[in-house]
Chain A
Amino acid sequence: MAPEVKLSHTAAMILQAVNAGYVYGFSVMEMTGLPSGTVYPAMRRLERDELIRSQWEQQSIADTEQRPPRKYYKLTRTGKVTLESSRKRYPLLAKLIPSEQEERV
């Protein structure tokens, strides 16, 4: 069994934001209130640790909306497990950034 990755509160907050549907770097910044110099390096490290993965959106979508294509992030399976354990460590995390399911409830 792989050793559990212990995240800092800020890293957990970013992971929660990505899980909640804020899949772009700037939207994570807006949601968490963290600056770009914190968010983007953190997301690089989360990707390095395979907790999230990045993907470029299709050019056709960007062309339709007349904007440049963006890179978006999604949680991996390992990332979801790590997020669950982080929620136990930081009980307020879910309330700070409610996920889509929690909002519906």
Chain B
Amino acid sequence: MTLRPALLFHLLCLGVLRSASLLVPAHQRAEWWMEWRSELWHVRQSCTPEQGISWAAEREVAAFCFGAFQDALCLRAHFGQRRIPHATTTGSATQCLLLLASMVALGFVSALLLPGVSAILHQPRYRDAQNLMLIHDAHYSAESVPTISADQFRSWKKRRQEIFDGFAFYQVRKESVSSASHSQTSLSIAHASSNLFGLLGQPMWFASTDATTHSVLPRLILSDAAWKKEFGGDPHISGRLVQVGSNTAVVSGVVPEGYWRLPGKVDAWLLQPDAELASDGTGFVVAHLTLSTIHARWGASWHMSAPKPDGSVDDFSCVSLTERTRGPGDIFLFTIFLAALALPATTSLPLGEYRLPSRRLSWSTRLRRWTFLASKLALLLPIVYLVSLDLAHLRAAIDPISSEYIQLVSSFSICLFGLRWALRDQRQRCPVCLRKLTNPARVGQPSRSFLAWNGTELICIGGHGLLHVPEMPTSWFNTQRWLYLDPSWDVLFAESGLAAASYF
């Protein structure tokens, strides 16, 4: 026997038993642990081969260990100080749907309480995002690194353009900001060309419509967070004079939360004439692509060669802002599609064989079964959407790109496992009364050469039938099979005591 894998599996099983022992009342724990540990030893001796690793045997040993949780819960229920709420899936179809509905409600309430989720759901969109391109030096792979100088931007803007019909520039720097009524504070200021917001089509709150007052001064646009934190959310903020570094600026508006999707964390934007933009350092250039069928075929990312201020030609990459401005709904739909594609690879899709009995089922009974499956899937989708949004925006400080990745991964994972659960739950229910099947029993002769048992049988406590699940799919029996029971079997299920409420 290979020592290390076998020892690892044994340690894992002991870990499972130890976890289950925590549920046992303290005064019974020592004896319980001793009993299960002893039984585990004998199970291993009986099931696992002397040499090599048998995955089927290890699965059987693991299944044995997981039964310890039910034993521990049983002990706790009968001898413990308090009852543990139901830890297993509910029995009736109504309970199942109510549980799913409560999860939807919980996800919705969490979404309402998390400020990040509210912002992302109500964020305004850029105008023509697919034709807005972020240009950066092709020698840098990440477009989130500033690579374009203000001189480069000015030289492009002066030249006659065929591809683009508008350029905007911004450069992020830390500056001290102060005003007459507020003390000095350090903020991330984007020194931007005056046409930046016009190019993005970005709406503003409290935008100043008075063009005469302080018209020669640079305009300062505040982010929603900076407006609330540094200026107390003052609704009369527009027109106030502030000192930004060595510049005096006038506050001209507030940008709604969640709208800024370009690289760089920015607390405020100082809009300046192009000539006043500092030549030192590098920033970002956003350009609007001229509408053309040729340009539409270029896709979301492409390269170009463009002249530099010194006259030489260099390579630049252009990336559409579509990726950065994707809404949560687009990501959700994409992950649903991916999960639906991946589902057949992770679980079998058929629900099993359900040959109709001699007395045919009413159409309402059959319809109710499919309606139940459809209801589960319908409730699963909002759970996926809301929970993935809650996870992606759990912290307000998280940047938009990371939030999208978190939403993508969590949405796909929850959707895939949710779909698997829905199918598996459907297979484990009686097709007549939709209750969970109970009393699983291994059937067939145990075989130590292959798998231990031929299959498992479960019954409906209402006496509607039996479900046989084969241990290993074969050519003659490759999926679970439901056997309807006729009324002559009712005598076994007629009495209330027979439902074994006190034992199971």
A interface vs B, CB < 8 Å? 6-11, 24-26, 29-30, 32-42, 44-45, 48, 67-71
Q: Which residues of A contact B11 (CB under 8 A)?
A: none
Please determine whether B75 and A25 come into contact, CB atoms closer than 8 angstroms: no
CA distance A6 to B502 in the complex (A): 10
Does residue B503 face the partner (Cβ distance < 8 Å to A)?
yes
**Residues B69 and A8 in contact, CB atoms below 8 Å apart:** no
Q: For the complex, is B367 an interface residue (Cβ under 8 Å from A)? A: no
Q: Digit string of B469-491 for contact with A (CB within 8 Å is 1, else 0)?
A: 00000000000000000000000
Chain B residues with CB under 8 Å of A42's CB are 503-504
Let me know if B446 and A38 touch, CB within 8 A: no
Are the C-beta atoms of A24 and B441 separated by less than 8 Å? Answer: no
By secondary structure, the A interface counts as helix
Chain-A contact segment, one of B33-41, B175-183, B237-245, B259-267: B33-41
B67 interface contact, C-beta 8 A: yes
Residues of B within 8 A of A7 (CB): 500, 503
The answer to whether A8 and B78 have CB atoms under 8 Å apart is no
Q: Given contacts A9-B498, A44-B75, could you give 10 more A-B pairs where the C-beta distance is less than 8 Å? A: A24-B39, A29-B64, A34-B442, A35-B63, A36-B64, A36-B65, A37-B69, A45-B502, A68-B37, A70-B39
Contact at B63–A36, with CB atoms within 8 Å? yes
A103 to B75, CA, bound (A): 35
Name the 10 nearest CB pairs between A and B, nearest first: A36-B67, A8-B500, A37-B67, A33-B442, A41-B74, A37-B70, A6-B497, A40-B71, A68-B38, A36-B64
Q: A6-B497, A44-B71, A48-B78 are in contact. Are A67 and B504 (CB under 8 A)?
A: no
Q: Provide the B68-84 mask, 1 if CB < 8 A to any CB of A, else 0.
A: 11110111001000000
A10 touches B439 (CB 8 A): yes
Task: Note all chain B residues with C-beta closer than 8 A to A68.
Answer: 34, 37-38, 41
Per a CB cutoff under 8 Å, which of B66, B68, B446, B503 touches A45? B503
For the complex, is B102 an interface residue (Cβ under 8 Å from A)?
no
Residues of B within 8 A of A67 (CB): 41-42, 45
In the bound complex, CA of A30 to CA of B495 (Å):
29
B residues in contact with A36, CB < 8 Å: 63-68, 71
Q: B interface, by DSSP: helix, strand, loop or mixed?
A: helix
Question: Is B92 part of the contact surface with A, judged by Cβ < 8 Å?
Answer: no
Set of chain A residues within 8 Å of B502, measured between Cβ atoms: 45
B46 an interface residue at 8 Å Cβ cutoff?
yes
Least Cβ–Cβ distance between A78 and chain B, in angstroms: 16
Q: How far is the CB of B212 from chain A (nearest CB, A)?
A: 81
Partner of A38, one of B66, B78, B504: B504
For residue B349, CB closer than 8 A to chain A, the reply is no
Q: Chain A: which residue is nearest B88 at the CB level?
A: A37
Closest approach, in angstroms, between the C-beta of A100 and any C-beta of chain B?
21
Q: Is the CB of B78 within 8 A of A44?
A: yes
Docked CA distance A61–B441 (Å)? 32
Partner of A26, one of B43, B446, B497, B503: B43
Q: Are A10 and B503 in contact (CB under 8 A)?
A: yes
Number of interface residues of B (CB under 8 A): 39
B499 within 8 A of A: yes
**How distant is A51 from chain B, measured CB to nearest CB, in Å?**
11
25 A-B pairs whose Cβ atoms sit less than 8 Å apart in the complex: A6-B497, A7-B503, A8-B504, A10-B504, A24-B42, A26-B43, A32-B441, A33-B443, A34-B440, A35-B442, A37-B66, A37-B68, A37-B70, A38-B440, A38-B504, A42-B504, A44-B74, A44-B78, A45-B503, A67-B41, A67-B45, A68-B34, A68-B38, A70-B39, A71-B35
- Contacts known (A24-B39, A26-B46, A38-B67); A33 close to B441, Cβ less than 8 A: yes
> With A6-B497, A32-B441, A35-B63 known to touch, is A11 a contact of B503 (CB < 8 Å)?
yes
In the complex the two chains form, what is the Cα distance from A44 to B71 in whole Å? 8
> Are B453 and A33 in touch, CB under 8 angstroms?
yes
Residues from chain B with Cβ under 8 Å of A70 in the complex: 35, 38-39, 42
CB distance from B330 to the nearest CB of A (A): 44
CA distance A25 to B36 in the complex (A): 10
Q: Is B492 an interface residue (CB 8 A)?
A: yes
- Interface centre among B68, B441, B503, by most chain A C-beta atoms within 10 angstroms, is B503
Smallest Cβ-Cβ distance to B444: which chain A residue: A33
Closest to B37 in A: A68
Closest residue of chain B to A41 (Cβ to Cβ) is B74
Residues of B within 8 A of A25 (CB): 35, 39
Chain B residue numbers with a CB within 8 Å of A10 are: 439, 441, 500, 503-504
Which chain A positions have C-beta within 8 A of B39?
Answer: 24-26, 70
Give the distance in Å from the alpha carbon of A99 to the alpha carbon of B356 in the complex: 39
- Tell me the bound Cα distance from A34 to B438 in angstroms: 11
Does the CB pair A71–B38 fall under 8 Å? yes
- Chain B 37-63 per-residue mask, 1 if CB under 8 angstroms from chain A, else 0: 111011101100000000000000001
CA distance A2 to B63 in the complex (A): 38
Query: Which single residue of chain B is at the shortest CB-CB distance from A36?
Result: B67
CA distance A36 to B66 in the complex (A): 8
* List of A residues within 8 angstroms of B73 by Cβ: 41
Task: Please report the C-alpha to C-alpha distance between residue A38 and residue B64 in the assembled complex, in whole angstroms.
Answer: 10
A89 to chain B, nearest CB (A): 9
Closest B residue, CB atoms, query A62: B38
CA distance A71 to B37 in the complex (A): 11
Q: Bound state CA distance, A71 and B46, in angstroms?
A: 17
